[in-house]
């Protein structure tokens, strides 16, 4: 194992007890303020790093990478005093004579494993929650986005002492070495396949985990949907970051009566966003690497050879590393595109006339990270009552992830635990119950079990039940 990794972990672990005394409200707010100042000072560098790794447009970087982290800092700082305050728990009859509280306590040393698709936001966002909770953290950014990972390491090194926050860069071997260490909490964002590896490693040290995974997030466009509004939100959510977004719409179930109108509206939106030649547009990000570009073009070739129709786009341009947005119709359940998370600028459109069949299909698949519904409140309520998903968006996409006041997390293969705001604070905190005895009468029921004690126990049982 890399000696530096062990040294950094040991330094952070050695100060766990001390931090629980010193990392009070003022120290935690100061750490959040330091991070905010560092991010604001390096905004141009963040934009440049994401352009180098992805070709992301400056506006997209600011809206999806920088702004969510600054919002998380502001929200956490504003509410931190209340989050840290012990919560009083009123006694039940059997506990009369005691006082009870739930006291949030920092878990200790946390590891944050960030993915490549939003490499700044998904490294720094969980770090905000760790600092708010009073934890030390080791951040492992993705090796697939080297410019952003190097910048994250530089910002952290210039802002924090290494025994509070450190960044360790490297590939799978570094992640494996980190996972062998007895962290108090592991926060992982990535694929379900790697999530299983992380959870298995955490089981060896009994570390708690937060797993932010993925899945095929469906959209339902009902017969009463506003097609223009639906197309605007679906196109933005699907093609932002070239579709490499864990909560992006993966496929669209569209009512027969709205199919043709939605196809036209989506095609118009793609042209409005990216022009007549999307691969030449600076607003369309690159696919992260050639392997993923080949995977996406393979999905299209497989679908087309099996009878699906591609409506515009889909022409991979190897020099630019881009794939034009493409709509796919005529897919079947047997096609690879129907059974795997697409994670690219490809959007299957699936017509339906029976909502029950759509709901059955959603329920038969692994629980998605997000589910989106376009239509009136009757449709939305029915979908929410009969399905399970990490989050639900009604007449919008992606935004439940960005809302700082909402917990964000998946269910089953799409994740475990929750992040953002108070949920993120609690993820890195142990909610410690404390019970104090003032005049509890429980000793009256201690052995020896005389007739008087038996009568008293029977009376207490009747009283409390």
Is the pLDDT at 1 greater than 50? The verdict is no
Question: What average pLDDT score do residues 432-452 get?
Answer: 94
| pLDDT at 92 exceeding the cut of 50 | yes
What is the reported pLDDT for 465? 82
Average pLDDT over residues 75-82: 98
Specify the pLDDT at position 232: 98
The pLDDT assigned to 463 comes to 87
* Number of other CB atoms surrounding residue 450 within 10 Å: 9
pLDDT of 464 = 84
**What is the torsional sign of CA 138, 140, 146, 148?**
negative
- Angle (CA) 316-318-322 rounded to 5° is 55
What is the token pair recorded at 73? 């800092």
Catalytic residue selected from 60, 72, 212, 341: 212
Query: Any idea which residue has 């697409």 for tokens?
Result: 342
Give residue 412's Cα distance to chain centre.
13
**Dihedral (Cα; 310, 243, 248, 239), 10-degree rounding:** -70
Query: Please, what's the largest Cα pairwise distance for the chain?
Result: 90
What the block records as the tokens of 289 is 């690497």
Q: Has 72 been annotated as catalytic?
A: no
Q: Please compute Rg for the chain using Cα positions.
A: 25
What pLDDT, in 10s, does the model give residues 384-437?
999 999 999 999 999 999 998 999 999 999 999 999 999 999 999 999 999 999
Task: Enumerate residues 6+ apart whose C-beta is below 8 A from 339.
Answer: 333
Q: Pseudo-torsion of CA 165, 167, 172, 175, nearest 10°?
A: -10
- At 100-151, the pLDDT tens digits run 999 999 999 999 999 999 999 999 999 999 999 999 999 999 999 999 999 9
Domain boundaries, the chain: 3-213+415-432, 218-409
pLDDT > 90 fraction of the chain, expressed in percent and rounded: 92
**Closest listed residue to residue 265, CA positions, set 226, 216, 315, 222:** 226
Residue 220, strand partner residues: 253, 373
Instruction: At 396, give phi and psi (nearest 5°).
Output: -165, 170
The CATH T-level fold of domain 3-213+415-432 is Aldehyde Dehydrogenase; Chain A, domain 1 (3.40.605)
Report the mean per-residue pLDDT for the chain.
Answer: 95
Beta bridge pairs of residue 112: 139, 187
DSSP 86: P
- Return d(Cα 133, Cα 18) in angstroms, integer: 14
N-terminal to C-terminal alpha carbon distance within the chain: 56
Cβ distance 262 to 349 under 8 Å?
A: yes
Residue 244 CA neighbour count, 13 Å, CB half: 24
pLDDT on residue 320: 79
In percent, the amount of the chain with pLDDT more than 70 equals 98
Q: Which residue's structure tokens are 């459109």?
A: 349
Residue 315 has a pLDDT of 59
pLDDT for the residue numbered 2 = 59
Q: Is 212 helix (H, G, I), strand (E, B) or coil?
A: strand
What SS3 state is found at 90?
A: coil
Q: If you search the block for the tokens 């977004």, which residue do you land on?
A: 245
Mean pLDDT of the 8-30 span = 94
* 135 belongs to the catalytic site: no
Q: Answer yes or no: is pLDDT of 313 > 70.
A: no
Asked if residue 318 has pLDDT above 60, the reply is no
CATH, domain 218-409, list 3.40.50.300, 1.20.58.100, 3.40.50.2000, 3.40.309.10: 3.40.309.10
Q: Which pLDDT belongs to residue 167? A: 97
* Other beta carbons within 10 Å of 325: 28
pLDDT of residue 316: 55
CA atoms of 279 and 265, how far apart (whole Å): 20
Mean pLDDT on 321-341: 95
- In the structure encoding, which two tokens stand for residue 284, read together? 């369309």
Q: Judge contact between 368 and 215, C-beta under 8 A.
A: yes
Lowest-pLDDT choice from 64-78, 205-219, 305-319, 359-373 = 305-319
Q: Which residue out of 60, 246, 334, 341 is catalytically annotated?
A: 246
pLDDT-based confidence at 319, cuts 50/70/90? low
Residue 244's pLDDT is what?
97
**Across 109-245, where does the E strand assignment appear?**
109-113, 136-140, 165-167, 185-189, 208-212, 218-221
d(C-alpha 208, C-alpha 110), whole Å? 10
DSSP 308: -
């Amino acid at each position: 194992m890399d000696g530096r990794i062990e040294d950094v972990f040991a330094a952070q672990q050695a100060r766990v007890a001390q931090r629980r005394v010193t990392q009070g409200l003022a120290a935690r707010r100061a750490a959040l303020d330091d991070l905010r100042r560092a991010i604001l000072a390096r905004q141009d560098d963040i934009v440049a790093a994401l352009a180098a790794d992805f070709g992301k447009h400056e506006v997209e970087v600011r809206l999806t990478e920088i702004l969510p982290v600054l919002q998380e800092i502001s929200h956490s700082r504003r509410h931190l005093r209340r989050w840290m305050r012990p919560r009083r728990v009123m006694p039940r009859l059997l506990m009369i004579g005691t006082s009870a509280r739930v006291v949030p306590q920092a878990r200790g040393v946390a590891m944050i494993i960030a993915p490549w698709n939003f490499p700044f936001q998904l490294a720094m966002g969980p770090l905000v929650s760790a600092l708010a909770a009073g934890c030390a953290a080791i951040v492992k950014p993705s090796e697939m986005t080297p410019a952003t990972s190097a910048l994250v390491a530089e910002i952290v090194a210039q802002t924090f002492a290494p025994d509070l926050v450190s960044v360790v860069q490297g590939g799978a071997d570094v992640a494996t070495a980190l996972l062998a260490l007895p962290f108090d909490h592991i926060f992982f964002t990535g694929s379900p396949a790697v999530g299983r590896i992380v959870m298995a490693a955490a089981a060896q040290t009994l570390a708690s985990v937060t797993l932010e995974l993925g899945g095929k997030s469906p959209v339902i466009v009902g017969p009463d949907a506003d097609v223009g509004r639906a197309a605007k939100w679906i196109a933005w959510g699907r093609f932002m970051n070239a579709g490499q977004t864990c909560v992006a719409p993966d496929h669209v179930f569209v009512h027969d009566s709205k199919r043709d109108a939605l196809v036209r509206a989506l095609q118009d939106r793609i042209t409005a966003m990216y022009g007549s030649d999307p691969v030449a547009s600076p607003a369309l990000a690159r696919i992260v690497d050639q392997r993923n570009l080949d995977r996406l073009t393979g999905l299209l070739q497989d679908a087309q050879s099996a009878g699906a129709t591609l409506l515009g786009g889909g022409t991979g341009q190897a020099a630019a590393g881009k794939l034009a947005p493409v709509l796919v119709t005529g897919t079947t359940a047997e096609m690879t595109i129907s059974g795997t998370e697409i994670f690219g600028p490809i959007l299957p459109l699936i017509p339906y006339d029976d909502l029950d069949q759509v709901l059955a299909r959603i329920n038969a698949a692994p629980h998605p990270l997000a589910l989106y519904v376009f239509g009136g409140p009757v449709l939305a309520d029915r979908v929410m009552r009969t399905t399970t998903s990490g989050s639900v968006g009604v007449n919008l996409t992606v935004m439940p992830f960005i809302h700082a006041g909402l917990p964000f997390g998946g269910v089953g293969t799409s994740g475990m635990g929750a992040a953002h705001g108070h949920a993120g604070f609690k993820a890195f905190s142990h909610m410690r119950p404390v019970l104090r005895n003032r005049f509890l009468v429980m000793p009256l029921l201690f052995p020896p079990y005389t007739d008087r004690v038996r009568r008293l126990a029977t009376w207490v049982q009747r009283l409390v039940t």
